[in-house]
Amino acid sequence: MKTIKLLSVLVLGSAMWGCSPYVNIPGEPGSVATESTNDLGVREAIAESLKLIMLREAPPADWALVLPEGTTQRNYAYVLDNVGAGSRLADAADDAPVYEVISIQIRGLDGQVDIVPPVEMTHGTARVQTVYLRHRLDQWHAQRTRLWNIPVPEAMAIVNPDAAPRFANYLPVRDRPAEQPAENKNAE
């Protein structure tokens, strides 16, 4: 009887391993990996990655989030609900500090998520932070992070040469250009 149970566990385990996800976001030409940002495992990996980054260094009181293109409102809501207060979907005109997820790779039980945190969180220099994850007991667990020394534009060219960051402003607030006052058309 014990042999049958052990054999059942081994067969089930190998079947689950064969169904492990293979994800590349952004997609790569000729890849067999899925490119969907809307899979349950992808959104869970993103939420866990953001939680670890924010646990290590508290986020600003009010911040915004940008996920890869194609992410549905439902998945934004899932990530925002699981990450915490003070968060919202980024808007193109938004001047709140932005966390931008630029890349996700999942290979079976291992994953990594590349995030550009607000420049204020990386001491004045915009840098990519990679979170390495491991899937255990039906959920992702963040293992460690790596803060890259390469500036964001160069990192973006490596991660996805065809895409540029969508909303994140990679200059510290003090270095951003001041808004020009509107011209008074009635002054003459």
pLDDT tens over the chain, length 188 residues: 666 665 555 444 444 444 557 888 888 788 888 888 888 899 999 999 999 998 888 888 888 888 988 899 999 999 999 987 677 777 655 678 888 898 999 999 999 999 988 877 766 777 889 999 999 988 999 999 998 887 776 766 666 666 555 544 544 444 444 444 444 444 44
Report the distance separating Cα 179 and Cα 188, nearest Å: 23
User: 177 and 133 in contact (C-beta within 8 Å)?
Assistant: no
Domain ranges of the chain: 24-169
Domain 24-169 fold: Nuclear Transport Factor 2; Chain: A, (3.10.450)
